[in-house]
Amino acid sequence: MFWRIIKLVLFLAIVGFAGLSAYAYLADLSPEQKERTVPVTLNAN
């Protein structure tokens, strides 16, 4: 019984790692790009 639980945990870890890897590889994880202008005040004396 104990070995079945260990096998199940290892199987779920491998499947989870494979799923996470596939999602990271196939999904579009690039951030949305947009132009932003921010005024900057320089204190140059």
Q: Compute the chain's Rg from CA coordinates.
A: 24
pLDDT given for residue 32 in this prediction: 86
Cα-based distances in Å from 29 to 11, 12, 24, 32, 45? 27, 24, 7, 9, 44
* 43 located within any domain: no
pLDDT of residue 45: 66
Instruction: Tell me if residue 20 falls in helix, strand or coil.
Output: helix
What is the residue range of 22's domain? 1-26
Question: pTM, whole model, 2 decimals?
Answer: 0.57
Domain membership flag for residue 16: yes
The tens digit of pLDDT for each residue in 16-44 reads: 999 999 998 888 778 888 999 999 888 87
Task: Count up the domains in the chain and report the number.
Answer: 1
The arithmetic mean of pLDDT across residues 6-14, rounded, is 97
Q: Identify which of 18, 34, 14, 37 has the alpha carbon closest to the alpha carbon of residue 26.
A: 18
* Any domain includes 40: no
